[in-house]
Structure 1
Amino acid sequence: MNYEQMIDLIGKENEALLSYTSSTVKKDLLHLPSPHFTDTVFAESNRNIQTLKSISSLFNHGRLQGSGYLSILPIDQGIEHSAGASFAPNPMYFDPENIIKLAIEGGCNAVATTFGGLAMIARKYAHKIPFIVKINHNELLTYPNKHDQVMFGSVKDAWNLGATAVGATIYFGSQESDRQIIEVSKAFEEAHELGMATILWCYLRNSAFVKDGKDYHVSADLTGQANHLGVTIQADIIKQKLPTINGGYKALNMGGSSYGKLDERMYTQLATDNPIDLCRYQVLNCYMGRAGLINSGGASTGESDTKEAVLTAIINKRAGGMGLISGRKAFQRSFNDGIELLQDIQDVYLEKQITVA
């Protein structure tokens, strides 16, 4: 997809995103994705030589190799959203080999999926595309459903599968988040010792975060703080939902409640209502981009999937983010259409006319 096709796809109502200039934190202060990101950022860190090698291998695979940007295919929804509901639109993905094939043919930097899925075909594919093993899940079968993430295997097992990285989720804000933080921080320490990169799904879960008809699970201030907690436990890459609202702390403090801490400048100087600035606030909380921010592609909604995915990629790139991790929009359609969508996303990061705002 070329630049003109991108403009036609996103529509006139969104064209301003391509020319917007951010007036919050200037891009010169950010650690932006580049072909030399491992050398300029991670080489200064405590990551050992094998971990630097793993991080570099993520950046140097697929259509985006050498750009500093990432396109990752995550398919762990068979657990997180139930296999039937996830794969009914395209039953071929009950077979995990087709997950790997989609990532390879789609030109992705890496594939993220489950212990069992990767173990079944590791010997055939571990040397052909970087594996990201998702080590914990919300199993969704307990009645009633609960918001928790439990470990499904060991970091050593992920290493034995030939994994380049491990991925994990923490439900920040949930009652179980303290235990999850402890478990994942220990797992990430072991992963780094074994030479693997670490990716953290920094999601929010608390029924109180939905207030007066607004969903603050995707609020820039709350998701930004989740990111800051994530990089504190040494996540190399943060996966986060694209923010669509702000003011979560303010909403939760109405009526005399005492929740968290805020400074009015979070909303007046560090962010505006522009989607690029909301996403940039997430980047700021990833140590100004020292840990890369990849936003999620979200659920499949049908015909508008490509438009939504390209818009998300534009916002992420212009905010200073590192890429997109998109699953359902790709695998809940035909194999060839899934490849096309993944490559449409990648084209945003390859397009030189789309620059950091």
Structure 2
Amino acid sequence: MSYIESLLGTEAESLLAHSCETIDKTMLQLPGQDYVDRVLSQKDLKPGVLRAMQTLIGTGRLSGSGYLSILPVDQGVEHSGGASFAANPIYFDPANIVELAIEGGCNAVASTLGVLGSVARRYAHKIPFLVKINHNEILSYPNFYDQTLFASVEQAFDMGAVAIGATVYYGSEESRRQIQEISEAFQHAHELGMVTVLWAYLRNSSFKVDGVDYHTAADLTGQANHLAATIEADIVKQKQAVGNGGYEAIKFGKTDKKVYTELTTEHPIDLVRYQVANCYMGRAGLINSGGASSGEGDLAQAVRTAVINKRAGGMGMISGRKAFQRPMAEGVDLLHAIQDVYLSDQVTIA
């Protein structure tokens, strides 16, 4: 615990001793070793999906805890291979991506059809595969920031994946088409017995007002989570909330004053608690993304994100660039540090 406290620095007491007085923890469906029996089994899902989720939460260092630590490496499409792997060229080889996830004790490795398909016969039985089926590629010029399908649900199923992932850019001009596409894909994945994971991201230039970026505001990301749960995402990937007041700033959409006066405060755990609440009070698990690598501060930032997520009632973290844009041994250590937060009995639900 002292190690976690040291990484949190001056925020240690604020983050570790905070008591959430907005949405009480007793209202949440919290992660745990019985999550499949207690929560997922109530859904309109086939037994195969329950088995797939149990495989996810039963793998890696967090096995049996109900929490997830996932390594995502789809940035070769989303950002370019060079931007992603020049810092550590071994990860141009998909085998090393999967090896990092295994050595790092992850519950699953998430990547593209090509990355996972290229090594599926070697690794699909050794660690759960999560195939990301749509992407925004930025070689088209000018770029138009759209998520388009790169793979089918059947291709993911045939390579032995236990889950599919997809992104919807909520708030964008293309979002309605993306919602329809991914809703249909999730239905098909559930029919085949796979878990569904949604990257529920906001994307609209109007969400930046007077120099303030509201793409990570608790109220707007909370609504994105609600829409993700609406199309039956079993797990929602969301950027951790930073700030609030998006609806008030963009002056569009509908909300309620109680969102700001009773259901949230400025404390980061309370902001993420609102994100969890919009995941049907935890019936869809919230995993927060790790964000970009910034160098020496990555370890402390990753642990901070994990502490906030866990204490808010989230299900875990999905962290990629902070792990693979450094030597493999350091990446493994970073992933283990994240997992240690979820394994610690002293980091409790706020």
Distance 1:215 1:241 in 2: 13
Following superposition, the deviation at residue 146 of structure 1 comes to 1.7
* Gap regions ≥5 residues in structure 1: 254-258
Q: In the alignment, which residue of structure 2 is the partner of 1:23?
A: 21
Cα root mean square deviation, aligned:
0.6
Q: In the alignment, which residue of structure 2 is the partner of 1:141?
A: 139
Q: In the alignment, which residue of structure 1 is the partner of 2:90?
A: 92
Following superposition, the deviation at residue 175 of structure 1 comes to 0.5
Q: Residue 338 of structure 1: which of 331, 337, 341 is its match?
A: 331
Q: In the alignment, which residue of structure 2 is the partner of 1:256?
A: none
Q: Residue 265 of structure 1: which of 258, 264, 268 is its match?
A: 258
Q: Residue 52 of structure 1: which of 42, 50, 53 is its match?
A: 50
Question: Quick check: 2:57–2:64 contact (8 Å CA) kept in 1?
Answer: yes
The AA in structure 2 aligned to 1:33 is: P
Q: In the alignment, which residue of structure 2 is the partner of 1:183?
A: 181
Distance 2:281 2:158 in 1: 33
Following superposition, the deviation at residue 239 of structure 1 comes to 0.1
Following superposition, the deviation at residue 209 of structure 1 comes to 0.6
Following superposition, the deviation at residue 141 of structure 1 comes to 1.0
Does 142-151 or 233-242 show the bigger shift? 142-151
Following superposition, the deviation at residue 221 of structure 1 comes to 0.3
| C-alpha distance after superposition, 1:232-259 (max 9, x if no partner) | 0000000000011100000011xxxxx1
What is the number of equivalent residue pairs in this alignment?
350
The AA in structure 1 aligned to 2:273 is: R
Following superposition, the deviation at residue 31 of structure 1 comes to 0.3
Distance 1:92 1:30 in 2: 42
Following superposition, the deviation at residue 12 of structure 1 comes to 2.1
Following superposition, the deviation at residue 144 of structure 1 comes to 1.1
SS at match of 1:11: helix
Distance 1:290 1:153 in 2: 27
Q: In the alignment, which residue of structure 2 is the partner of 1:293?
A: 286
Superposed, 1:1-357 pairs within 5 Å as 3-253=1-251, 259-357=252-350
TM-score, length of structure 1 as denominator length: 0.97
Query: Alpha carbons of 1:44 and 1:13: their partners in 2 closer, same or farther (altered >3 Å)?
Result: closer
Distance 1:94 1:328 in 2: 13
SS at match of 1:21: coil
TM-score, length of structure 2 as denominator length: 0.99
The AA in structure 1 aligned to 2:65 is: S
Distance 1:57 1:50 in 2: 10
Following superposition, the deviation at residue 142 of structure 1 comes to 1.2
* Gap regions ≥5 residues in structure 2: none
SS at match of 1:218: coil
Tell me the percent identity: 61
Distance 2:247 2:29 in 1: 27
Question: Quick check: 2:240–2:288 contact (8 Å CA) kept in 1?
Answer: yes
The AA in structure 1 aligned to 2:291 is: G
SS at match of 2:127: coil
The AA in structure 1 aligned to 2:305 is: T
Distance 1:210 1:236 in 2: 30
Following superposition, the deviation at residue 147 of structure 1 comes to 1.4
The AA in structure 2 aligned to 1:355 is: T
| C-alpha distance after superposition, 1:281-322 (max 9, x if no partner) | 000000000110000000000000000000000000000000
